[in-house]
Structure 1
């Protein structure tokens, strides 16, 4: 009597399954914040939309703010990869004004993109009342971006294009902070022309030359 051969089945790939679940949770969190706003977004709602149990979310994140922060950081990385560039880069072409204008124009485009606007506004607002989240939002998102401006301005100092006594960390606020304030407080439209003007004013000053 011939021995019956048992069919072999590969073990389920839990890593792939976890990644699919994580991606679904990211997408659900970002979509819900855009559709109903941050206050009405819940862990239960994210879980339902992602097709996972809420215990799965709590296994990886302690709160909806943590889910949204990680999802938003991942969204930025995806956009950078799709554009064929590394996350958090400011090209150095040797023309400081052009480099700053290009990166600020890209920032304007991102801030006006509904996919980015809703979660970034939600995180910025929540960070004002949730001190611990605010610190992580700054550390994980804002500081890495601001450091790029510092590095680019220091390179300009080395090239003799910026005074050696200028503090790059303060100087970058001349064009970054007005854009952030106008966007957050809706004090006026943001556009490429607006950020180009910020760079011109910051680099050339206001007094006659």
Structure 2
């Protein structure tokens, strides 16, 4: 006789089903933005690609922008797994060149480019989304630069009076500017030049 208190192995696991649906929605949103562009991506299209009802999406997110933001954050977390720090080898120049080269590779990848551009553009017209994009995605990454530069300050490799927040913008600002404008290629050579110019300045060395 079956024990009525024993768990029913055939009972659906709603938590597992929800997680599977959520991940399918993430994948669908990122894929469609890459294939069609953000303006032509719709909730209905995401639902159809993910194999869920559109009401499932509306139950979890208020808009396609919110879906894309969460999907992109999930993608970024997977990419950063095990690489949550900028290396600190004691050689600031080498460490910064290493991380900026990796950033160039990421920015040049189709999986990053389309959703990141869509979120950046949408954040301009939607200040709430823009603030979430900065707070949840960009700011944690920028703080890694602050931490590495502070370590360099402690080692007397960076002047003690330097504002570290401004300092990090000397690296990531030009990189983002070139990526947004698409006028010139993003290369490892460009990343290395940014580090050289920021660390050693533009005036002739004497």
TM-score (norm 1): 0.92
Aligned length, in residue pairs: 202
TM-score (norm 2): 0.94
Aligned ranges 1:102-113 → 2 under 5 Å: 102-113=98-109
Aligned ranges 1:22-171 → 2 under 5 Å: 22-81=22-81, 85-86=82-83, 88-171=84-167
How many angstroms does 1:23 deviate by? 0.6
Q: 1:184 corresponds to which residue? A: 180
Question: CA offsets per residue over residues 140-198 of structure 1, 9 Å max, x none?
Answer: 11111111111111110000000000011001111110010000011311111001000
Question: CA offsets per residue over residues 108-166 of structure 1, 9 Å max, x none?
Answer: 00011101111001101111111111110011111111111111111100000000000
How large is the Cα RMSD of the aligned pairs?
Answer: 1.6
How many angstroms does 1:4 deviate by? 9.7
Structure 1: 5+ residue runs without aligned partners?
Answer: none
Structure 2: 5+ residue runs without aligned partners?
Answer: none
Q: 1:198 corresponds to which residue? A: 194
Question: Which secondary structure state, in structure 2, belongs to the residue aligned with residue 172 of structure 1?
Answer: helix
Question: Which secondary structure state, in structure 2, belongs to the residue aligned with residue 200 of structure 1?
Answer: helix
Q: Which runs of 4+ in 1 moved over 3 A?
A: 3-6
Question: CA offsets per residue over residues 51-83 of structure 1, 9 Å max, x none?
Answer: 0011111111111001000100111112233xx
Alignment partners' CA distance in 2, 1:155 and 1:9 = 53
